[in-house]
Amino acid sequence: QVQLQESGPGLVKPSQTLSLTCTVSGDSISSVGYYWSWIRQHPGKGLEWIGYMYNSGSTRYNPSLRSRVTISLDTSKNQFSLKLSSVTAADTAVYFCARALPAMSYFGMDVWGQGTTVTVSS
Amino acid sequence: DIQMTQSPSSLSASVGDRVTISCRTSQSISTYLNWYQQKPGKAPNLLIYGASSLQSGVPARFSGSGSGTDFTLTISSLQPEDFATYYCQQSYSPPLTFGGGTKVEIK
């Protein structure tokens, strides 16, 4: 059974870089066809896709965040990570990592981490 | 970006009711439409992918239909564990976008 678990600081100061890691268990992050994704949810709001990385190394980011976002894979640790630079209070949210299925399954996100709350405050 | 419009934003229903949630997209997305259920404090759970394919382990009372720009999620007989917020999501073209959500509450 595949499981994902987010980890990282719960509090980040304005202008600093938010760094989160998602540890994958039960499957290899190098498995062909999956898209390793980050999504966030502002308090009491809907879901916002941040971006994903394919195991080939290709990435796609939300244009609204593209200038500040980096997603990377660490196959040796079976982890993928999110870095979001120059954060402001508007980046306060619950951050989820998720696995998106291959194209034949319409990229549905079938496995999610439990989510981690990140607050941006001085 | 492809805009997603879900309706209604909330509804009240009773156990056993048939519930229908709509999702409309700003441009045609074929059947690249997924549905999720989210309960408070939890991660979303994939219910339907490709507009009408039931994700493994999801009860058969959930079904999806539609193509192009108009989609529907139907719960044939609402159960107590179905009270939650439901989101549609398009996977046709990045940036992937979600609908605003439909909160299903107990009448």
Contact across the interface for B87 and A46, Cβ inside 8 Å? yes
pLDDT at B12: 97
Q: How many residues belong to chain B?
A: 107
Contact B98 A105 (CB under 8 A): no
- Average pLDDT of the residues in B27-42: 98
pLDDT reading at A33 higher than 80? yes
Size of interface A-B (CB pairs under 8 A): 69
> What is the nearest CA distance from A75 to chain B, expressed in angstroms?
24
- φ/ψ of A105, rounded to 5, equals -110, 25
Q: Is the pLDDT of residue A55 over 80?
A: no
Cβ-defined contact of A47 to B1 (cutoff 8 Å): no
B49 has a pLDDT exceeding 80: yes
Q: Does residue B5 register a pLDDT over 80? A: yes
Distance from CA of A110 to the nearest CA of B (A): 5
Residue A104, pLDDT above cutoff 90: no
User: Does the pLDDT value for residue A2 go beyond 90?
Assistant: yes
Cβ-in-10-Å burial (0-12, 13-18, 19+) of B22 comes to: middle
Rounded mean pLDDT of A53-80? 93
Note whether B96 contacts A49, CB cutoff 8 Å. Answer: yes
Average pLDDT taken over every residue of chain B = 97
- Quote the pLDDT of residue B85: 98
Q: Cβ–Cβ contacts within 10 Å for residue B5, how many? A: 13
- Please give the Cα distance from A53 to A67 (Å, whole number): 16
B45 → chain A, closest CA residue: A110
Strand partners, B48: B35, B54
CA distance B26 to chain A (A): 17
Query: Is the bond leading into B94 cis (omega within 30 degrees of zero)?
Result: no
